[in-house]
Amino acid sequence: MSRNKNARKQRAPETARIESVTHDGKGIAAVAGKKVFVAGALEGETVVFQRRKRRRNYDEAQLLEVTEPSAARIEPRCAAFGVCGGCTLQQLNAADQRSIKERALRDNLERIGQVEPRSWLDPLFVDGETGGWGYRRRARLAVKDVAAKGRVLVGFREAHAPYVCDMHRCEVLAEPVGSLIDPLSDLVGRLSIRARLPQIEVAIADNVTELVFRVLDPPSREDLLALAEFAAAHSVQVSLQTGGPGSVAPLQQGQPIEELCYKLPEFDLEIGFEPTDFVQVNGAVNRLMVSRAIEHLEVLPEHRVLDLYCGIGNFSLALARKAAYVLAIEGEQLQVERGRHNADKNSITNCDFRQADLAKIEGNESWLSAGWDRVLLDPARSGAEEVIALMPIIGAIRVVYISCHPGTLARDAGVLVREQGYELEAAGIIDMFPHTGHVESIAIFQKVA
């Protein structure tokens, strides 16, 4: 049999019963002794699937049909669900989604960290329409001029292919952008550089929305006019990006641009950010998360607090409202400068921002042993392994760890608990990304006396 005929045979539809489900919405079936992960399938269902990627220990498959559905299955709200790679859990209600994510956190802590919290926190989420839909305030939309379709596609990548999903709106993007997918497609389709515009950065602040168009060639005068008319018609700000993040500039030179900002009302804070800055995508859940993290940190007016991986000051400035002093450390200099700007903007004088690559700290930095009562950690997906190794030098008796990856959180929790004398007091999930497989979580550690 030729290689092509063999490949076609391997890709033939198959039927199996789903035994369990992963946190990111993949049903697991065992077929001829090998696991197959079927995106979108639920536990207990019988499904028809097609293998898309073969690996040594498991295969990945696309769901073709559900012949025996689970009672938990609901109708996805988005017309692009199953094709778009953004959301993977819309076939479940919000409570069932959170149960899967909590199970993932529990499993990682037990299996990787070999730890268990003394208590489990209730999931942190915002209920109602704004909690699960129209929440995403930061996104990067892909753009592709597809001649075969006769239009420019604007949206997220497909789940099973590197193509831009043919979608017409997005149910999780905050307005007005959730409803602007088709208007953006029409706009780019009228530009002379339609084939040289690969992405649009979306930043939806409390006060204004900004769209950053990445352009590989200079727009014509007619292009600039079309972009300006779009901005006026939809009440958004438009900028152009010709290179790296530092090249972002207003559509028209000299044009006044309103600073993007979001508020943390409980702490009387207004935090400014640039459209390419990292900010938590879910504003409502972020407000709850900041409040709950500081509550669990048990900050007193006399405390000195170390905020590591601080970004633009999301936690730092709120901590400064409670503590005597906060030192905020971040690896990106632009984020450090933004944090300083936000401290000045809010008249905060007891919070210093400093640049340091926390993946390369050596242990002899003076700030490490400057006498810290509390530590807040909010690292990227890679976790805080290098910092955790130096916790005996930092010496704080209480640590709150915000994580976007349960595996690295579990790894670091294992070190804190089994090697450094901390107790995992509590842990729980934060539903920052409804309908997706992303698991945000919080863990509280207390030094054992």
**Superfamily for domain range 98-128+262-268+280-447:** Vaccinia Virus protein VP39 (3.40.50.150)
Which CATH code is given to the segment(s) 138-204+209-257? Answer: 2.40.50.1070
Asked if the peptide bond before residue 176 counts as cis, ω within 30 degrees of 0, the response is: yes
pLDDT tens track for 308-324 = 999 999 999 999 999 99
**Phi and psi, residue 438, nearest 5°:** -70, 135
Identify the three-state secondary structure at position 269. strand
Strand order in the sheet with 58-68: 14-17, 46-54, 58-68, 34-39, 26-31, 20-21
**Whether pLDDT at 222 is above 80:** yes
Confidence of residue 11 (pLDDT cuts 50, 70, 90): confident
**C-alpha count within 13 angstroms, C-beta hemisphere, residue 101:** 32
Active-site positions? 404
Question: Whole-model pTM above 0.85?
Answer: yes
| Distance separating alpha carbons of residues 126 and 270, to the nearest angstrom | 21
* Residue 133 and residue 440 in contact, taking contact as beta carbons nearer than 8 Å: no
Cα 204 from chain centroid (whole Å): 15
Measuring CA to CA, which residue among 337, 345, 293, 358 is closest to residue 319?
293
Where are the domains positioned within the chain? 3-73, 98-128+262-268+280-447, 138-204+209-257
CB neighbours (10 Å) of residue 306?
Answer: 27
Measuring CA to CA, which residue among 32, 67, 74 is closest to residue 47?
67
**Phi and psi, residue 78, nearest 5°:** -90, 135
Residue type, 269: L
| Distance separating alpha carbons of residues 43 and 412, to the nearest angstrom | 31
Q: Return the sign of the alpha-carbon dihedral for residues 21, 289, 135, 241.
A: negative
**Whether pLDDT at 182 is above 70:** yes
Domain 3-73: top CATH class: mainly beta
Please give, one letter per residue, the 3-state secondary structure of 10-58: HCCCEEEECCEECCCCEEEEEECCEEEEEECCCCCCEEEEEEEEECCCE
Q: What percent of the chain has pLDDT over 70?
A: 97
**Phi and psi, residue 239, nearest 5°:** -125, 165
pLDDT tens track for 374-393 = 999 999 999 999 999 999 99
Cα–Cα–Cα angle for 440, 444, 448, rounded to 5 degrees = 155
pLDDT for position 23: 85
What are the DSSP calls for 160-177, one per residue? SSSSBP--S--SSBPTTG
Residue 351 DSSP code: E
**Whether pLDDT at 8 is above 50:** no
Instruction: Mean pLDDT check: name the lowest of 33-37, 160-164, 223-227, 252-256.
Output: 252-256
Helix/strand number for the chain, H first, E second: 11, 22
Measuring CA to CA, which residue among 205, 202, 201, 224 is closest to residue 214?
201
pLDDT tens track for 24-55 = 889 999 998 899 999 899 999 999 999 988 89
Measuring CA to CA, which residue among 37, 100, 43, 44 is closest to residue 434?
100
pLDDT tens track for 97-145 = 999 999 999 999 999 999 999 999 999 999 865 568 999 999 999 999 9
**Phi and psi, residue 365, nearest 5°:** -65, 135
**Whether pLDDT at 430 is above 60:** yes
* Residue 154 and residue 184 in contact, taking contact as beta carbons nearer than 8 Å: yes
In this chain, the answer to whether the domains covering 3-73 and 138-204+209-257 adopt an identical fold is yes
Location of structure tokens 């640039």? 274
pLDDT for position 10: 55
